[in-house]
Structure 1
Amino acid sequence: MSELAGPVPTEVSDRVVAAPAVRAGDRGRLEELDALRGLAALGVVVYHYTTFYQSQHGHLHPLGFGFPAGNYGVHLFFLISGFVIFMTLDRTRTAADFVVSRFSRLFPAYWAALLLTTLVVHAIGMPQQRPDAATFVANTTMLQEILGFEDIDGSYWTLQVELFFYAQMLLWFVLRQLHRIPWIIAGWLLLVLAYALALRQGWHFSYTTRVLLNLLYIPYFALGILFYRLHAARGSRRANIALILASLATIGIAYEPVYFVVGLSCTAVFALFLGGGLRWLRHRLFLFLGGISYALYLLHQAIGFAVIHRLERLGVPSLAAITLALALALGLATLLNRWIERPAMRAIRQRWQSRRRAPAA
């Protein structure tokens, strides 16, 4: 998911680092990104409960419709992540500040959702949903895939993608190379093309390189970074636009055609955002969805599938079962956001700020 975690405005107003003042109008514009995240998360949920559930398990009462487009909400998450993470590093003083910021935003809510999901699927889930202890422990790291374990919730695969992107951006920050991000993006795109060529020719390409550098998704993160640079007037406008076009071309060459359409659609959405065409997304309903989007993403799939499966076998029509599962996911996400995600983030950041302010012994 997604810059998946938490509302974008909090990244500015509640950050753990000292930073330049936000320009007039930025907060409202960032609220639009937050709302986009919420809509993307909702699209992923509807896709999973309709199209994906049907393909994996089969609804007892066929719906007659699906929402396959929701599957590509994660790509919009990746653009938002590129935008927000580069913005965060642009305003961050130390690597430790960034690590605390990311940890406080991601892990407390994730661990709570992981525990709740595990309890629910063991109680009412399908047999194949129930993880063993080793799988649970591996999942606490968010790196279960590279460790060789299954995701307890199928949506968790994006979290590893996000972590590796954060780690790489932090590395460039520590090396003081973020001002060379256009060249770094050009290098990413060349590596993506090299990977695609190797795949088509049957040549070996390092799995570790592909995973650590996110070569399946890095053009989407690059697009987000480039739109932030346009938004913040960083670097040459022509160069940023040229790299946006190069990123889209790389997606079109390296990936299946549908992903070019996805990239083009996400680019159009961000162009509207920068042009002020998404102000209608500042409605409180969309902002509410944005606020709970991370919790919703973490909680919806495994728990929702268990609920749908159980309700359908109790005779509840599939559409009603989906509606009830969606209502439950939204309710749980609201509670997780209110009682764990936001309080834990505040507490960790306040403690970090206190430690930074404390005089040396």
Structure 2
Amino acid sequence: MPTPLEKPAATAPEAGQGAAGVPPRIVPKAHAPRLRALDGLRLVAALMVAAYHYGGRDGDVTAAWGGSPRHQFPTLHSWFAYGCLGVQIFFVISGFVICMSGWGRPLRSFFASRASRLLPSYWAAVIIVTAVFALPTVAYKAVSPSDALVNLTMLQQPLGVDRVLGVCWTLWAEIRFYALFALCIVLPGATRQRVILFCASWTMAAAIAQAADEPLLNLVLMPEYAPFFVGGIGLYLVHRDRRDAYAWGIVGVSWLIGQHYAVRGLWHAPNPDFFSYRPAYGIVLIVTLGYLAVAAIALGWLNRVNWRWLTVAGALTYPFYLVHEHLGWVAIKVYHRDLGIPSYGTFLLTVATMLLLAWLLNRYVEERLAPKLRGALSRPRP
């Protein structure tokens, strides 16, 4: 997931060339202001996904409610069904943030930043969910001890191991994006020309992979997710220079392709056997609003949205995202079926409980372990 943001500023040498015609590397400002509106958007996307998991689909959550969520939320369930598109918005934000945080940063520092951001809360979430699901009073199936250990590597999905966290499939997409960006941009050094070439090459290669239908190419190039990451990168280039025609071209092409994959993956014809009907225009609208929200932040239109509490919201987003689904099922059962709290009250209480747990993870896991892990990974070795 995206990390806390530091806004780099373009410097004069970017317009020219360095020695021997090599584009210069641009180092970000050390104390640039935080884009708090982006923190808020991240939390909105996480809450969208939570609404989908709690009330926008059938599945394990049905057992928690004691019936289909469509009966618990007869009016809102059709709106909650759009919440899964929060993932696509996350990927756009991730492209923006990773390009920003990786610009001017050496590979060791980039890797240390990513690992220290992702791993502490992830390890804690895997341990907590595994322990809770192992309780005899919890009816959900726990993974085997061996599979739980593999989950700590974040490689459970390619290894075909049962997942402890249902949402970790998105982390596997993020890791592949980080690897591509690190090899193509961070390792040689970020420049505008190199980033544009990366976006164009990845877009073309992903289209070829889709046409070839080759599993290995699809695994590496992620045709269905690449447009959103590329769109976020393009929006970061817009953030650096709003008059950059190439950046706007990257954003436009990525939106056109991204809405196609979103519609293809989530649309279906009206059918009573489906949980809810998401018309194509609704999917396109949500994807478009996600792009427009990040674009508004990139252009500085939301700079006045600078409330300090948004920093806290941004810090809670990742741990909330990790724990909300599986532990949310347990909370829903306790609040709704055991304590008899009405559906809407249960929904709000479950979200609040998961936010509280996210705060605890941020306060007592991330804030303590992340700096130590970052320091250990950043320290040069002889």
TM-score range, shorter chain: 0.7 to 0.9
Which residue in 2 is equivalent to 1:63? 73
Which residue in 2 is equivalent to 1:211? 219
1:188 aligns with 2:202: yes
1:314 aligns with 2:338: yes
Which residue in 2 is equivalent to 1:35? 40
Which residue in 1 is equivalent to 2:89? 76
Which residue in 1 is equivalent to 2:359? 334
| Cα distance, 1:216 vs structure 2 | 1.3
Which residue in 2 is equivalent to 1:201? none
| Cα distance, 1:155 vs structure 2 | 1.2
| Cα distance, 1:255 vs structure 2 | 4.9
Map Cα deviations across residues 286-345 of structure 1 (whole Å, 9 max, x no partner): 332211111111111101112213443325233333233222211110010011112211
Q: 1:45 to 1:285 in 2, by over 3 A?
A: farther
Residue of 134, 138, 150 corresponding to 1:125: 138
1:111 aligns with 2:117: no
| Cα distance, 1:63 vs structure 2 | 2.3
- Contact conserved, 2:225 with 2:258, CA < 8 A, in 1? no
1:224 aligns with 2:232: yes
| Cα distance, 1:350 vs structure 2 | 3.6
Which residue in 2 is equivalent to 1:289? 313
State the SS of the aligned residue for 2:348: helix
- Contact conserved, 2:72 with 2:343, CA < 8 A, in 1? yes
Which residue in 2 is equivalent to 1:349? 374
Q: 1:324 to 1:306 in 2, by over 3 A?
A: same
Q: Distance in 2 between matches of 1:56 and 1:211?
A: 30
Map Cα deviations across residues 186-215 of structure 1 (whole Å, 9 max, x no partner): 22222333344x4xxxxx622222122222
Q: 1:68 to 1:299 in 2, by over 3 A?
A: same
Q: Distance in 1 between matches of 2:148 and 2:259?
A: 38
Q: Distance in 2 between matches of 1:349 and 1:253?
A: 38
- Contact conserved, 2:116 with 2:373, CA < 8 A, in 1? yes
1:263 aligns with 2:260: no
- Contact conserved, 2:121 with 2:362, CA < 8 A, in 1? yes
The correspondence of residues 44-63 of structure 1 with structure 2, limited to 5 A, is: 44-52=49-57, 57=62, 59-60=65-66, 62-63=72-73
| Cα distance, 1:231 vs structure 2 | 1.1
1:251 aligns with 2:263: no
Return the letter of the residue paired with 1:345.
A
Q: Give the share of equivalent positions with the same residue, in percent.
A: 29
Q: Distance in 1 between matches of 2:118 and 2:150?
A: 16
| Cα distance, 1:117 vs structure 2 | 1.2
Map Cα deviations across residues 99-151 of structure 1 (whole Å, 9 max, x no partner): 111111111111011101111122243333x1111221221111211110232
Whichever structure has more helix as a proportion of its residues is: 1
| Cα distance, 1:53 vs structure 2 | 5.2
Q: Distance in 1 between matches of 2:48 and 2:305?
A: 15
Q: Distance in 1 between matches of 2:214 and 2:367?
A: 39
1:7 aligns with 2:19: no
- Contact conserved, 2:96 with 2:232, CA < 8 A, in 1? yes
State the SS of the aligned residue for 1:144: coil
- Contact conserved, 2:27 with 2:105, CA < 8 A, in 1? yes
Q: Any stretches of 5+ residues in structure 2 without a counterpart?
A: 9-25, 264-279
- Contact conserved, 1:230 with 1:240, CA < 8 A, in 2? yes
Q: 1:181 to 1:348 in 2, by over 3 A?
A: same
Which residue in 2 is equivalent to 1:15? none
Return the letter of the residue paired with 1:45.
A
The CA RMSD measured in Å over matched residues stands at: 2.7
Deviates more, 1:35-44 or 1:99-108: 35-44
- Contact conserved, 1:101 with 1:349, CA < 8 A, in 2? yes
- Contact conserved, 1:38 with 1:291, CA < 8 A, in 2? no
Return the letter of the residue paired with 2:120.
P
Q: 1:134 to 1:55 in 2, by over 3 A?
A: closer
- Contact conserved, 2:93 with 2:294, CA < 8 A, in 1? no
Q: TM-score, normalised by structure 2?
A: 0.79
- Contact conserved, 1:38 with 1:290, CA < 8 A, in 2? yes
Q: TM-score, normalised by structure 1?
A: 0.83
Return the letter of the residue paired with 2:187.
V
| Cα distance, 1:55 vs structure 2 | 8.0
Higher RCO by CA contacts (8 Å cutoff, separation 6 or greater): 1
Which residue in 1 is equivalent to 2:11? none
| Cα distance, 1:252 vs structure 2 | 4.3
- Contact conserved, 1:39 with 1:286, CA < 8 A, in 2? no
- Contact conserved, 2:52 with 2:83, CA < 8 A, in 1? yes
Map Cα deviations across residues 68-88 of structure 1 (whole Å, 9 max, x no partner): 232111111111111111112
Q: Any stretches of 5+ residues in structure 1 without a counterpart?
A: 13-17, 199-203
Q: Distance in 1 between matches of 2:245 and 2:166?
A: 40
